[in-house]
Amino acid sequence: MNLEDSTALQFDTPYMVIDFNQSLKNMKKVQSFADQHGKTLRPHSKTHKIPLFSKRQISLGAVGVCVQKVSEAEVMFDGGVEDILISNEVVTGIKTDRIADLASRGCRIKVAVDSEVGMSSLNESAREVGKEIDVIIDVDLGMDRCGILPDDFPGFLKKSSGYSNLTVYGIMAYDGNVADESRSERSRKVASEVETLTKLCKDYERINGEPQTVSVGATSTYDLWAEYDIITELQPGTYVYYDRRTTEYGASTMDEIAMGVVGTVMSKTHSNHAVIDAGYKSTSIDNGRYPILIMPSGDTAPVTSMSEEHTVCSDANQLKIGDRVLLLPSHACTTTDQWDKAAIFGLNEKPGTIEIKGRGMRE
Ligand SMILES: Cc1ncc(COP(=O)(O)O)c(C=O)c1O
């Protein structure tokens, strides 16, 4: 992320800023990795939430996108993205009707499922509009979030084939929990997940024939999964911007981070202490982690506390009131969700702003 370009923009602070050229490099890096390993890439759009970015990822070779919410799927489809996997569970009739509506409008919509309640509702909504909807069975390989437990998989798969308007097309497993700073530890955990998944693929083949798609992976694990033949699709998301966290576990360098928040030093009442006009309403502190603060010199300074509107930095001798600084968030996705629009440079000839159309899409 280019500090000079980010802080030179003539916007009032705080503002979120995107380095589009860097983001494009990140997109190309992961796409060519997936291509080299013979896997399709279905990037998660929850990081950028911008249809234009998804369309760029698709034009580089991605097969479609993941979204987490029905409302995000609607934003993406209205923005011109046609192949969308809701990689999350949907159970209410209002939402499954909206999914069926997307299918009627020509969207190649797919949905992750882990319950009969969800499948019945989706089946009913699809039947009402005379459509068949593709579903992928979400399994829990250890994240302890959504997903069918491995022991229950064969029974669930058998039941899932009984819905007239649903077509089961594969298995999905998300493992964002595997984010250890040691790559060998992540590799060991993925190898153990592969063992379980291989067994589930055999169950699938016995009951339903070969799965068309086996979709897995996060920014912390996609490169490890790519080594295994049973995997067909990778679904990382954060790589489009990277962040402090991905840098800590070695998936990116600091230079590859493509989004941040620019703030101004607004108070400096004693020598070592500076306060920035952007707090956690501007920069997510998911898991209690503070952003990296970059000063005009390019050096970093420690963040010691944050509140809604303030970031406090100790050891800030170099800073003076009015200086612009760049905050590189610990989590890019949750930071993006705090902004209706972002400053962007590298997209057009002149820096401008871009609307974050999927921001705040909760249902
Ligand atoms: C189901 C699913 N797939 C993919 C991703 C992308 O993971 P990451 O942002 O770590 O690359 C997420 C992120 O939360 C997710 O929930």
66 lines ligand 1 (CB under 6 A): yes
Return the ligand 1 atom nearest residue 236 CA.
11
Question: What pLDDT is recorded for position 38?
Answer: 98
Shortest-distance atom of ligand 1 to CA 246: 10
Taking the centre of ligand 1 as the mean of its atom positions, its distance from the CA of residue 137, in whole angstroms, is: 16
Reported in sequence order, the residue ranges of 225-346 that DSSP labels E, i.e. its strands, are 233-234, 259-270, 273-276, 292-294, 300-301, 303-306, 311-313, 324-328, 341-345
Backbone angles phi, psi at 119, to 5 degrees: -70, -40
pLDDT at 7 over 90: no
- Identify the bridge partners of residue 65 per DSSP, sorted by sequence position: 84
Residue pLDDT, tens place only, 131-161: 999 999 999 999 999 999 999 999 999 999 8
Report the pLDDT value the prediction gives residue 198, as an integer from 0 to 100.
98
Mean pLDDT score, 240-249: 97
Per-residue pLDDT at 249:
94
Cα(64) to ligand 1 centroid in Å equals 14
The residues, any chain, with a CB within 8 Å of residue 151's CB and separated by 6 or more, are none
Q: Whose CA is nearest to atom 2 of ligand 1?
A: 174
190: its two tokens = 């993925």
What are the distances in angstroms from CA 347 to CA 17, 343, 351? 12, 10, 7
Nearest CA to ligand 1 atom 15: 174
256 falls in which pLDDT band (50, 70, 90)? very high
Band of pLDDT at residue 315, cut at 50, 70 and 90 = confident
The pick from 90, 136, 145, 174 for probing ligand 1's pocket by mutation, whose C-beta has the most ligand atoms within 8 angstroms, reads: 174
Residue 309 Cα to ligand 1 midpoint, Å, equals 28
- Please indicate whether residue 87, judged by its CB atom, sits closer than 6 Å to ligand 1: yes
157 C-beta closer than 6 A to ligand 1:
no
Q: Could you tell me if 16 and 333 are in contact, meaning their C-beta atoms sit under 8 angstroms apart?
A: no
Please give the number of the atom of ligand 1 that sits closest to the Cα of 176.
10
For residue 280, the CA-to-ligand 1 centroid distance in Å is 22
Q: Is 176 in the pocket of ligand 1 (CB under 6 A)?
A: yes
Contacts of residue 101, defined as CB under 8 A and 6 or more positions apart, other chains included, come to 129
Q: What is the mean pLDDT of residues 217-239?
A: 98
Mean pLDDT of 228-246: 98
Question: How many angstroms is it from 177 CA to the middle of ligand 1?
Answer: 10
Eight-class DSSP state of 21: H
CA distance 23 to 30: 11
Distance CA 269, CA 275 (A): 9
For residue 10, the model assigns a pLDDT of 82
**Domains recognised in the chain with CATH numbers:** 3-16+252-355 (2.40.37.20), 21-240 (3.20.20.10)
* pLDDT at residue number 183: 96
Reported confidence tier of residue 316, pLDDT bands at 50, 70, 90: confident
Instruction: State if residue 237 touches ligand 1 by the CB under 6 angstroms criterion.
Output: yes
pLDDT at 199: 98
Query: How does pLDDT run across 33-92, given as a tens digit for each residue?
Result: 999 999 999 999 999 999 999 999 999 999 999 999 999 999 999 999 999 999 999 999
CA of 44 to the centre of ligand 1 (A): 6
